[in-house]
């Protein structure tokens, strides 16, 4: 365990991270509305030591009740429409919605029309769009920082 922590410290020193956040903190709840799993894998690595999303003041929280931001991946399937709306309804206000990845933005979506409810903006008001198929961890971090800075 100690060796693991020492390794991580060594890794930290090698990675050129920007200065930690000052005065910004947002709790993010992720909802997969029908993705191909690519955005999830990249979002997971946005919290890896190379990017360390937490350093910018962003934490992924377990419940929409604790969240400021709803981060939605995938085109919204008919089956995920109701759970997505329920998560949004459960959030305290003010709340923000981020559509993450091309599918969430309605770009290049594949599938049967009868199974798809549409891009995120057809279901919820979208405050920030992060394009990419999938967006790389750095793009996700940059997008979220922009979202906060634009409001300060």
Binding interface with another protein (CB under 8 A) = 1, 3-5, 7-8, 11, 30-45, 47-51, 60, 62-63, 74-75, 77, 79-80, 83, 87, 110-112, 114-116, 133-134, 136-137
- Nearer Cβ to another protein (138/151): 138
- Nearer Cβ to another protein (65/151): 65
Q: Where are the strands (E) in the chain, listed by range?
A: 26-32, 58-60, 69-73, 76-77, 96-100, 116-118, 128-130
- Nearer Cβ to another protein (7/151): 7
- Nearer Cβ to another protein (14/22): 14
| Dist. CA 30–CA 84, nearest whole Å | 10
Rg (alpha carbons) of the chain, rounded to whole number: 16
| Dist. CA 121–CA 124, nearest whole Å | 5
Smallest distance from another protein to CB 23, Å: 25
Crossing angle between the packed helical segments 137-149 and 38-45, to the nearest 10 degrees = 70
Smallest distance from another protein to CB 107, Å: 12
Smallest distance from another protein to CB 114, Å: 7
Smallest distance from another protein to CB 113, Å: 8
CA angle, residues 14, 147, 30, in degrees to nearest 5: 80
């Amino acid at each position: 365990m100690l060796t693991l922590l020492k390794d991580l410290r060594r890794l930290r020193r090698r990675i050129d991270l920007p200065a930690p956040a000052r005065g910004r903190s947002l709790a993010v709840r992720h909802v997969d509305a029908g993705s191909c799993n690519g955005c999830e894998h990249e979002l997971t690595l946005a919290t890896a030591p190379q990017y360390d999303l937490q350093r910018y003041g962003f934490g992924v929280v377990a419940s929409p009740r604790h969240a400021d931001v709803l981060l939605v991946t995938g085109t919204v399937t008919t089956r995920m429409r109701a759970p997505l709306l329920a998560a949004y309804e459960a959030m305290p206000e003010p709340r923000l919605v981020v559509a993450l990845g091309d599918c969430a933005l309605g770009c290049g979506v594949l599938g049967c029309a009868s199974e798809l409810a549409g891009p995120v903006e057809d279901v919820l008001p979208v405050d920030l769009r992060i394009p990419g198929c999938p967006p790389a961890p750095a793009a996700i971090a940059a997008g979220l920082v922009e979202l906060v800075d634009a409001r300060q």
